[in-house]
Amino acid sequence: MFYRSSSLKFALQHDLRYRDPVRFPRAGGESCRFLVWALDPVIGVEDAALRDRFNFWRQAYIASATQVQPSYATVALALAIQPATTRGQHQFHIHIGTLTDTYRQAIDGLVRDPTLTQGISLNGYDFVAKYVPNAPGGGPFSGLSPFEVARQMIPGGESAMPVYGIVAAIALGGDGVFVLAAKGFDRAELNFRQAYDCDFAP
């Protein structure tokens, strides 16, 4: 199920594979998994020339608050993009889900210093992390692109981007975003399961 906006170059998908857990066992219970897709050809996290032509992160945040029903609570929201090594589709897409308690607690323990790169280990992933304040007068994901933040943080820079996934979560209070990057990150680290079924807002 898609919501398309050709003028904004994105599509919002509600993944309904959870309705057929026999055929799609990995999707079982994932009633609230949404994705933002690029409509133009963009490969993924490693597509340096095209990944930031449109602010898909900001669009995913807006969609989570206005187009998803029930809307995601800001404190719970998690956005993620997988590296080429773990994704199943080589067309740019960002996963919209929620943070597990483990991730929320760990992120809340990070320092809000945009000059500082921090290390954090979660569920077998060794993340590098950084706080990105909102642009003046802007909301979440209006500051520096998570792709640029990751590129600057990871060992190897741009040449290593194909093997790094990114998770982004809004800092408590909403004044900025924490960007985390780790090798081989899998979207299964996000929570897409709720006690209710999600849908598109009317």
Q: What is the pLDDT of residues 45-74, one digit of tens each?
A: 999 999 999 999 999 999 999 999 999 999
Q: What is the pLDDT of residues 178-198, one digit of tens each?
A: 999 999 999 999 999 998 899
The answer on pLDDT for 1 being more than 60 is no
The average confidence (pLDDT) of the chain is 94
Query: At residue 29, what is the residue type?
Result: G
Whether 96 and 67 have beta carbons less than 8 Å apart is answered as no
The answer on pLDDT for 4 being more than 70 is no
Residues 6+ apart with CB under 8 A from 71: 64, 65, 201
Question: 2-191: what fold?
Answer: HIT family, subunit A (3.30.428)
pTM of the model: 0.94
The answer on pLDDT for 7 being more than 80 is no
Residues 6+ apart with CB under 8 A from 31: 18, 192, 193, 194, 196, 197, 198
Q: What is the pLDDT of residues 92-128, one digit of tens each?
A: 999 999 999 999 999 999 999 999 999 999 999 999 9
The residue extents of the domains of the chain are 2-191
